[in-house]
């Protein structure tokens, strides 16, 4: 089953990748196992986001760059604000990477 590897770029994904890197490089873990861990992470993360997270966010900003390639949208926004019920964040530059949600549910 294919997974979105996109979440590996998040904080939690990078921590996992680093941990796996260390363990593989010192021989604790085999690369094949490490890959399986990453794949499982992809699934678990996707599932958790679907089921455990309930918040809704609005995003506004100036679109500086857009790109659609391999079914992945990449936007670069300038002076963007992110709002939800609790918080509001403003950033001067943000990159948004989005995969097609339909690809997973095929």
Partner 1 sequence: MAGSNLSVSRVYIDVIDDVIAKVRDEFINYGAGEAVLSELQSLWEMKMMHIGAITANIDRSSAASRHPPSAHLNPLHDLNVPYQGPTEEYETPTAEMLFPPTPLQTPIHTPLPGIDPPMYNIPTGPSDYAPSPLSDVRNGVVDIKASRPNPYMQPPSPWMPTRPLGVDVNVAYVEGREDANREPPHHPATQDFFTSSTGKRKRDEYPSRLPPGTYMPQQDGSSDVIIEFEMGNSSSQVDQQGNESSSIPQLDGIDDEYDNLFQYPSVPAEDYNNVVQTPAEHELRAPTPAAVGTPRQTNNVSGDDEEPPLNEDDDDDDDLDDLEQGEEEPTTQHLVLAQFDKVTRTKNRWKCTLKDGIMHLNNRDILFNKAMGEFDF
Q: Position of tokens 């964040």?
A: 89
Interacting positions 66-85 with partner 1 (CB under 8 A): 66, 68, 73-77, 82, 84
Interacting positions 43-62 with partner 1 (CB under 8 A): 43-50, 52-62
Give the total of residues touching partner 1 (CB under 8 A). Answer: 80
Q: How far apart are CA 49 and CA 9, in angstroms?
A: 15
- Mask of contacts with partner 1, 3-42, x by CB under 8 A? -xxxxxxxxx--xxxxxxxxxxxxxxxxxxxxxxxx-xx-
List 1, 2, 70, 86, residue binding partner 1 (CB under 8 A): 86
Inter-residue contact 61 to 79 (CB < 8 Å): yes
Any idea what the Cα angle at residue 91 is, between residues 86 and 96, rounded to 5°? 90
């Amino acid at each position: 089953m294919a997974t979105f590897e996109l979440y590996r770029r998040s904080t939690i994904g990078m921590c996992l990748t680093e941990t796996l890197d260390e363990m593989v490089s010192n021989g604790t873990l085999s690369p094949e196992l490490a890959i399986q861990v990453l794949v499982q992470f992809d699934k678990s993360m996707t599932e958790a986001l679907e089921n455990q997270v309930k918040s809704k966010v609005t995003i506004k900003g100036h679109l500086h760059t857009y790109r659609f390639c391999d079914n992945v949208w990449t936007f670069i926004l300038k002076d963007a604000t992110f709002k939800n019920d609790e918080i509001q964040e403003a950033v001067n530059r943000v990159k948004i990477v989005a995969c097609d949600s339909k690809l997973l549910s095929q």
